[in-house]
């Protein structure tokens, strides 16, 4: 079986940091509430950096680590719902920035689930023999999508990008995927497709910002994420005990703890970095993969599950070997 193997990872977060005390200067909140309810302490916020720029920086680092020439990349998939332009798509901007002159590329939008869906699509392209080398990026400027006067959402998000480069491997380890959507529950989490870096929104335009029924999203996540992980484990015949790490979308520490509990799995196998970056939507999973990789936490043959969930509502997962 031909499957994709990760041969490089990269990430980029803007240098500008806002901690919870900074948020408390903007809205009626405090460090204790935010840490207790979410696990978040800080977030990195783009000043001049665009989504495409951050995507390109993460991609450059992944390609550099892989040692693969950019010309060998066949396909670039960028998962984003906050690109500064609708077109050219961020994937074409990334192609230009890294010199991947032989690649095709496009963006995909499934909010926080986007990277995992992109990863699954890349595996499908590789298994079908359509591509040999695929770059998958998750990149977001959430700071442009949030209402900085709404304490129930603005404290949750941050900006950044992560990337992985997948290379076809003959007789590669099997890859198991699953994905679902529930359009009926779409109103639980909405954001309009406008990029408002320089806009002064009137009160009635606030509909354009992210709106979320936090409790509904929380309940959805703690039910559906364990379900999709169990679905993948059942398909693969692999047991939860054999999984080295469950790398979940970093939205809220309590969601991740609840998933670990439902799966009766020790929380130590659920790495987290949301304390530092908050929820960077499609970028959380690849940023965490890159951090772990650069810390030397991965070894050949380890079994990993990645899982994402978010607006749509959408949720997806993948089991693969490092």
The residues annotated as belonging to the active site are 112, 249, 279
Q: How far is the CB of 13 from ligand ACO (least distance, A)?
A: 17
Give the SS3 label for residue 278: coil
- Give yes or no for residue 217 binding ligand ACO (CB under 6 A): yes
Could you tell me which stretch among 13-21, 60-68, 171-179, 207-215 binds ligand ACO (CB under 6 A)? 207-215
- Give yes or no for residue 137 binding ligand ACO (CB under 6 A): no
Q: Please say which residue, 175 or 306, places its beta carbon nearer to ligand ACO.
A: 306
Residue nearest to ligand ACO (CB): 310
Distances in Å between the alpha carbon of 37 and those of 30, 83, 157, 215, 293? Answer: 11, 29, 14, 12, 28
Q: At what angle do helices 51-66 and 90-98 cross, to 10 degrees?
A: 50
- Give yes or no for residue 310 binding ligand ACO (CB under 6 A): yes
- Within 13 Å, how many C-alpha atoms sit on residue 191's CB side? 28
**Are 262 and 140 contacting, i.e. CB atoms less than 8 angstroms apart?**
no
Report 105-124 residues binding ligand ACO (CB under 6 A): 111-112
Q: How far is the CB of 64 from ligand ACO (least distance, A)?
A: 30
Give the SS3 label for residue 105: strand
Q: How far apart are CA 163 and CA 179, in angstroms?
A: 20
Q: Choose, by CB under 6 A, the member of 152, 187, 206, 261 that binds ligand ACO.
A: 152
The number of residues in the chain equals 322
**Are 79 and 50 contacting, i.e. CB atoms less than 8 angstroms apart?**
no
Q: How far apart are CA 166 and CA 126, in angstroms?
A: 9
Q: How far is the CB of 180 from ligand ACO (least distance, A)?
A: 14
- Give yes or no for residue 228 binding ligand ACO (CB under 6 A): no
Q: How far is the CB of 24 from ligand ACO (least distance, A)?
A: 8
Q: Please say which residue, 71 or 207, places its beta carbon nearer to ligand ACO.
A: 207
Q: Please say which residue, 194 or 235, places its beta carbon nearer to ligand ACO.
A: 194
Q: Write the interaction track for ligand ACO spanning residues 163-192; mark x where CB under 6 A is met and - where it is not.
A: --------------------------x---
Q: Please say which residue, 63 or 251, places its beta carbon nearer to ligand ACO.
A: 251
Q: Choose, by CB under 6 A, the member of 68, 85, 214, 267 that binds ligand ACO.
A: 214
Residues 6+ apart with CB under 8 A from 58: 10, 11, 12, 137, 139, 161, 162, 163, 283, 286, 290
Residues 6+ apart with CB under 8 A from 261: none
- Give yes or no for residue 270 binding ligand ACO (CB under 6 A): no
Q: Please say which residue, 18 or 112, places its beta carbon nearer to ligand ACO.
A: 112
Residues 6+ apart with CB under 8 A from 28: 151
Q: How far is the CB of 151 from ligand ACO (least distance, A)?
A: 4
Q: Write the interaction track for ligand ACO spanning residues 18-47; mark x where CB under 6 A is met and - where it is not.
A: -----------x---xx--xx---------
Could you tell me which stretch among 96-104, 147-155, 192-200, 260-268 binds ligand ACO (CB under 6 A)? 147-155
Distances in Å between the alpha carbon of 62 and those of 12, 118, 190, 240? Answer: 10, 16, 31, 29
Report 57-86 residues binding ligand ACO (CB under 6 A): none
Residues 6+ apart with CB under 8 A from 35: 20, 41
Q: Please say which residue, 148 or 234, places its beta carbon nearer to ligand ACO.
A: 148
């Amino acid at each position: 079986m031909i499957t994709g193997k990760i041969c490089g990872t990269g990430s980029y977060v803007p240098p500008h940091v806002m901690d919870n005390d900074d948020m408390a200067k903007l809205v009626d909140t405090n460090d204790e509430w935010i840490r207790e309810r979410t696990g978040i302490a800080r977030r990195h916020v783009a000043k001049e950096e665009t989504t495409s720029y951050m995507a390109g920086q993460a991609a450059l680092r992944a390609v550099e680590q892989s040692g693969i020439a950019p010309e060998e990349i066949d396909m670039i998939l960028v998962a984003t719902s906050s690109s500064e332009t609708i077109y050219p798509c961020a994937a074409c901007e990334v192609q230009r920035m890294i010199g991947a002159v032989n690649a095709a590329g496009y963006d995909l939008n499934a909010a926080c689930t986007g990277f995992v869906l992109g990863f699954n699509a890349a595996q499908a392209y590789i298994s079908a023999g359509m591509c040999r080398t695929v770059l998958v990026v998750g990149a977001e400027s959430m700071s442009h999508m949030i209402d900085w006067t709404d304490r129930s959402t603005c404290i949750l998000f941050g900006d950044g990008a992560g990337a992985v480069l997948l290379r076809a491997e003959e007789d590669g380890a099997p890859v198991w995927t699953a994905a679902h959507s529930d359009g009926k529950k779409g109103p639980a989490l909405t954001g309009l497709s406008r990029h408002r870096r320089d806009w002064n929104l009137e009160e009635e335009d606030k509909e354009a910002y992210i709106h979320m029924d936090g409790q509904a999203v929380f309940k959805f996540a703690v039910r559906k994420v364990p379900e999709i992980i169990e679905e993948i484990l059942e398909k693969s015949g692999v047991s939860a005990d054999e999984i080295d790490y469950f790398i979940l979308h970093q939205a809220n520490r309590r969601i991740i703890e609840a998933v670990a509990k439902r799966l009766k799995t020790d929380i130590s196998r659920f790495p987290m970095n949301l304390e530092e970056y908050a929820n960077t939507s499609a970028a959380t999973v690849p940023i965490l993969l890159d951090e772990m990789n650069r810390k030397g936490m991965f070894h050949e043959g380890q079994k990993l599950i990645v899982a994402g969930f978010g607006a749509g509502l959408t949720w997806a997962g993948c089991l693969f070997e490092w």
